[in-house]
Amino acid sequence: MQNSKNSRRKPAITVCRSDHAKLSDLATAAEASAPEAAEELLGELDRARIVADGSLPARIARIGSTVEYKPDTGEARTVTLVLPGQADIAAGRVSVLTPIGTALIGLAAGQTISWTARDGRRHDLTVLAVGQPEPAKVERNWSQHTAIGAA
């Protein structure tokens, strides 16, 4: 049975196999320090369609992607999805462990999702565009995250 905050049907999402494994590990590691965020990320990963590495379409948001989206609360925004230790709201870098970061993972341009903010309010956002980072940069960021053990 779904809880009330997830009662609306969510759009299909897609994640590549290595990102799925890494994000699962990240969420599991965060369960003690950020249980709600970890639970939400694990829930998204559980419902994701997993594809082989290299088969993830460029239009799909993943760690390192730059995502332009339109929230129901105002004008379009552009953010880059990052690991928790790299987050900097002022620089437009949003952690995948935040409610909005978790909501964006696996979405493609044109998809809309409802998500719950930390204050408990429901919001909708629509992805307008997704840009991908260089593959070497994504792997370097994962390596740095793993080396410092940030979660």
With cut-offs at 50, 70 and 90, classify the pLDDT of residue 9: confident
pLDDT attached to residue 22: 92
Task: Summarize the confidence of residues 18-35 as an average pLDDT.
Answer: 94
Structure tokens at 143: 């390596």
99 vs 137: CA distance, rounded Å: 24
Average pLDDT, the chain: 87
Residue in the block written with tokens 């620089």: 91
Q: Is the pLDDT of residue 91 over 70?
A: yes
pLDDT attached to residue 120: 87
Nearest to 133 by CA among 49, 63, 46, 57: 63
30 vs 8: CA distance, rounded Å: 26
